[in-house]
Amino acid sequence: MFSQRIDGLQPSPIRAVLGVIDRPGMVSFAGGLPATQMLPEWSGSLTQDVMQYGPSEGDPDLRAVVADRLRGMGVDAPPDRVMILSGSQQGIDLVAKLVIDAGTRTAVEFPTYLAALQVFRFYGARFVDVGTAAAAAALAYVVPTFGNPTGRCASAAERDALARTCLASGTILFEDDPYRELAYETVDRRPIVARMSGGSWIYQGSFSKTFAPGLRIGFLAASDDLFAPLLMLKQAVDLHSSRLSQRIVHDAVTAPDWPARLSALAAFYRTRRDCFGRQLHRHFSDLADWDEPSGGLFFWLRLKREIDTRTLLDEAIACGVAFMPGEAFYPNAPVLGTMRLNFSHADAGDADRGLAVLADLIREHRR
Ligand code: PMP
């Protein structure tokens, strides 16, 4: 009844966990959800034109704003090579459609963003490690800046090395950068694609983490050889992204208070990260190792014992706490004993309570 492709279709483990976090009293470290109190309220007025069909590339004024920002980051993309996406998740699907057949070597970080793995797997990707095998891959997908799930920021040397490898081997570089604005320390975040002169690349970003995930607006820019086919794929998927959402995002990011809002957001999350870090030390110092993330929304824990955190999740949910088991972020064989904890969503009291519950459950496993 279904296409062959459907054989490989798996539900997203994260969407399954998100289904339980609305239960009253549930403390969630699971999703990459912005803090509810930081979401915008909107009271602008709209003109009728946003109700009409629009261009597949996106609304020209928003594309121009994005191109301007990209230029500031050293990314070579005029507005006519910028496309507005229905969430940056859509960019992952478009790129996978363009590049991946059954068996296509796809280089990723181990671990990496699980909803990218889900898409790549659907089209038949064979995963290899971007650290060692990017040169042998058709596509290299990376989240180098405050990555999901690890929160890690790749060094300038690592960025330069991957840029060089992709240029030399003809590997398409796909840089996914939704967290770059959530920086809590000064780090070198210059995009990898800004370090390539020539080559084939896609760079994408999102307004989900800095503004409002519910509007579903992201963007991509691509090298000349890739932009036109990506646009044809976008046309076939949804004609264009919501014009209403594009207008709301455009008005917000061009408002005079936007830079101040971004700094306030980063300051708010920095405080949450610091607080969460102290709570982790209190509850987890004998149970796990971790690095403090210099940006983004996640702590990545490596437990000192190899507990299957998928089993732990069921027990945690029964006790009113949700988190993301680390196993799902590994492309091939899952590595046991890792967990991703989001620190942006729960307030300090809930986080402390939730971490205490998790630590107790882990101690029970260790006995
Ligand atoms: N890429 C990464 C690395 C992400 O973490 C996310 C969201 N969690 C996305 C892409 C998709 O974000 P959106 O579709 O909301 O822009």
Output the pTM of the full model.
Answer: 0.96
End-to-end CA distance of the chain: 49
Q: Which of 176, 215, 342 best tests ligand 1's pocket when mutated (most atoms within 8 Å of CB)?
A: 176
Range 50-253: architecture per CATH: 3-Layer(aba) Sandwich (3.40)
DSSP-derived secondary structure letter, 211 = T
Distance of alpha carbon 45 from alpha carbon 203, whole angstroms: 32
Query: Could you tell me if 87 and 206 are in contact, meaning their C-beta atoms sit under 8 angstroms apart?
Result: yes
**How high is the pLDDT of residue 367?**
61
pLDDT in tens, 119-140: 999 999 999 999 999 999 999 9
Residue 8 has pLDDT above 80, yes or no: no
pLDDT in tens, 46-60: 888 999 999 999 999
Q: What tokens does 358 get?
A: 């998790």
Q: Write the single-letter amino acid at 219.
A: F
Q: Which of 113, 118, 152 best tests ligand 1's pocket when mutated (most atoms within 8 Å of CB)?
A: 113
**Ligand 1 pocket, Cβ-based, cut-off 6 angstroms:** 32, 87-89, 113, 143, 148, 176, 178, 206, 208, 213, 218
Strand-pair partners of 176: 204
Q: What tokens does 270 get?
A: 């920095």
Strand-pair partners of 321: 27
34 Cβ partners below 8 Å, 6+ apart? Answer: 208, 209, 212, 213, 344, 345
**Domain 4-39+259-366: which CATH number of 3.40.50.360, 3.90.1150.10, 1.10.3720.10, 2.70.150.10:** 3.90.1150.10
Q: What tokens does 291 get?
A: 């690095």
pLDDT in tens, 318-367: 999 999 999 999 999 888 999 999 999 999 999 999 999 999 999 998 66
Task: List, in sequence order, the alpha helices (H) in 179-305.
Answer: 224-238, 243-254, 258-284
Please tell me whether residue 148 adopts helix, strand or coil conformation.
coil
Strand pairing report for 298-303 and 288-289: antiparallel
Query: Where residue 19 falls among pLDDT bands split at 50, 70, 90?
Result: confident
pLDDT in tens, 67-77: 999 999 999 89
Distance 274 CA to ligand 1 centre (A): 23
Enclosing H/E stretch for 294: none
Distance 88 CA to ligand 1 centre (A): 6
Check residues 307 and 177 and name the one with the higher pLDDT: 177
Q: Measured from the CA of 86, which atom of ligand 1 is nearest?
A: 14
pLDDT in tens, 183-240: 999 999 999 999 999 999 999 999 999 999 999 999 999 999 999 999 999 999 999 9
Domain regions of the chain by residue span: 4-39+259-366, 50-253
Q: Which of 142, 177, 203, 206 best tests ligand 1's pocket when mutated (most atoms within 8 Å of CB)?
A: 206
Distance of alpha carbon 336 from alpha carbon 338, whole angstroms: 6
Please state, as a whole number, how many other Cβ atoms lie within 10 Å of the Cβ of residue 316: 23
Q: What angle do CA 329, 332, 333 make, to 5 degrees?
A: 95
